[in-house]
Amino acid sequence: MSERDKSQDKKVLIGAAFLMATSAIGPGFLTQTTTFTSQLGPTMGFVILLSVLLSLIAQLNIWRIICISKERGQDIANKVLPGLGHVIALLVAMGGLAFNIGNVGGAGLGLNVLFGIDLNIAIAISGIIGIVIFSVKQVGNAMDKFATFAGALMIILIAYVAISSQPPVAQAVKETFLPSSFPYLAILTLAGGTVGGYISFSGGHRLVDAGIVGEENLDRVNQSALMGMGVATIVRIFLFLAVLGVVTAGATLDPSNPAADAFKIAAGTVGYKIFGLVMTSAALSSVVGAAFTSVSFLKTLNKFVGNHVNQTTIAFIVASTAIQIFIGSPAKVLVIVGSLNGLILPITLATMLVASKRKEIVGEYQHSQLLFILGWLVVIITAVLGVRSLSGIAALWS
């Protein structure tokens, strides 16, 4: 391999890591972390620690099997059980569309905070930015660069707010390793929000597109997966510390937009504008990740989508934007599809674990027994969360 090829592969590996991380860091990520921190205080550090461990186990299992099999998640699933890949692809696409509505809305809110422009116009601009990224001739490179830039920008901005809020770091460290309570629901919610639905496959599918697969690339794929989780974790820790400093000082956050309120209290008007920039970056990068991964699940199952990947991805973003502008966030649909999305991780991870023992999929590769056992533990835990989330449908329609 030439030095140029090595350099290009390195950029793709970094891009895949940031694509996974920024897919996870959306409007829901910001709101969840802020809300739970305001409720739990320093114990939120323990929640982050355990949710990261659960997410890392899921991510390493999924990326490794994708790398070894040289195939995307839906194709592996169809080999495990004919038709299963089609079901998973449909669930991922439905979940991706539903959450992309929220992502486009979040990007619009961020632009509204930054520039004071009409919210619907801001939402339309957000959709256009997503479309431009997928209209570039070398869309893979454009997506890698955008995800890397957005991730780095969020780390810098949130770190500034964390320093400004002067959090009790020593107390946070103590509670991280010696917690005073065990908030299991928060742990499960954050784990699902970090690698649930389409997120766990976003970086892996990017590597398949770039041809960085096979056992010879396994170490590099592991490093990319670890990097992606590392970026998402760093952002969550800084956000936790920023909010912790605010709530420890006695402030009560506005429940309608707790993250914006925390940034404003911590750093004044500058903090509020930083929130706008962080929200815009987080939401736009999630728009890109959700659209790319959702379509990547469909393109090997449908000939038309496979022949028109970029056009289908753009149509996906247009649909998300139009629904957000003309209908608003359809709460009932979002809850129902969100409940289904909560079941995607245990289904997909269980499928990958079964695939890891099938020679027609992975050949002579021997999957880590430790990862295999831990993977099934994560399947059980996240399945419990998914079943619990389904109870929300009955409450919604009652």
Provide the greatest CA pair distance for the chain.
63
With cut-offs at 50, 70 and 90, classify the pLDDT of residue 375: very high
Over residues 2-44, the pLDDT tens digits come to 555 667 778 888 888 887 777 777 777 788 888 889 999 999 9
Work out the average pLDDT over 337-347: 67
Overall domain count for the chain: 1
CB atoms < 10 A from the CB of 386, how many? 21
Q: Which residue has the higher pLDDT, 188 or 216?
A: 216
Instruction: Match 């766990």 to its residue by tokens.
Output: 200
Instruction: Give every CB contact of residue 245 below 8 A, 6+ residues apart in sequence.
Output: 162, 164, 165, 166, 167, 168, 266
Over residues 311-333, the pLDDT tens digits come to 999 999 999 999 888 876 544 44
86 found inside a domain: yes
- 8 A C-beta contact, residue 251 and residue 179: no
Cα–Cα distance between 226 and 55 in angstroms, integer? 10
Instruction: Match 């929220």 to its residue by tokens.
Output: 102
Q: What is the mean pLDDT of the chain?
A: 85
pLDDT of 171: 95
Work out the average pLDDT over 50-56: 87
CB atoms < 10 A from the CB of 216, how many? 9
CB atoms < 10 A from the CB of 72, how many? 22
Does the pLDDT of residue 63 top 80, yes or no?
Answer: yes
Most confident of 24-28, 109-113, 185-189, 252-256: 109-113
With cut-offs at 50, 70 and 90, classify the pLDDT of residue 75: very high
pLDDT of 125: 94
Does the pLDDT of residue 177 top 60, yes or no?
Answer: yes
5 found inside a domain: no
Does the pLDDT of residue 135 top 50, yes or no?
Answer: yes
6 found inside a domain: no
CATH code assigned at 202: 1.20.1740.10
Handedness of CA 26, 155, 56, 240 (dihedral sign): negative
8 found inside a domain: no
Tokens (6 digits) for 288: 């890109």
2 found inside a domain: no
pLDDT of 330: 46
pLDDT of 176: 94
Most confident of 59-63, 134-138, 150-154: 59-63
Instruction: Give every CB contact of residue 271 below 8 A, 6+ residues apart in sequence.
Output: 161, 164, 263, 264, 265
Does the pLDDT of residue 151 top 70, yes or no?
Answer: yes
Low-confidence winner among 277-281, 343-347, 354-358, 388-392 (lowest mean pLDDT): 388-392
132 found inside a domain: yes
pLDDT of 188: 74
Cα–Cα distance between 8 and 260 in angstroms, integer? 38
Instruction: Match 């400004």 to its residue by tokens.
Output: 164
Residue 267 is classified by DSSP as H
| Domain range for 242 | 13-397
pLDDT of 301: 85
Work out the average pLDDT over 174-199: 80
pLDDT of 331: 45
pLDDT of 335: 46
Residue 137 is classified by DSSP as T
Does the pLDDT of residue 191 top 60, yes or no?
Answer: yes
| pTM, to two decimals | 0.84
**What distances in angstroms separate CA 159 from CA 39, 91, 285, 307, 394, one per listed residue?**
21, 35, 19, 43, 41
Work out the average pLDDT over 259-265: 90
The percentage of the chain sitting over the pLDDT mark of 70, rounded to a whole number, equals 89
pLDDT of 140: 67
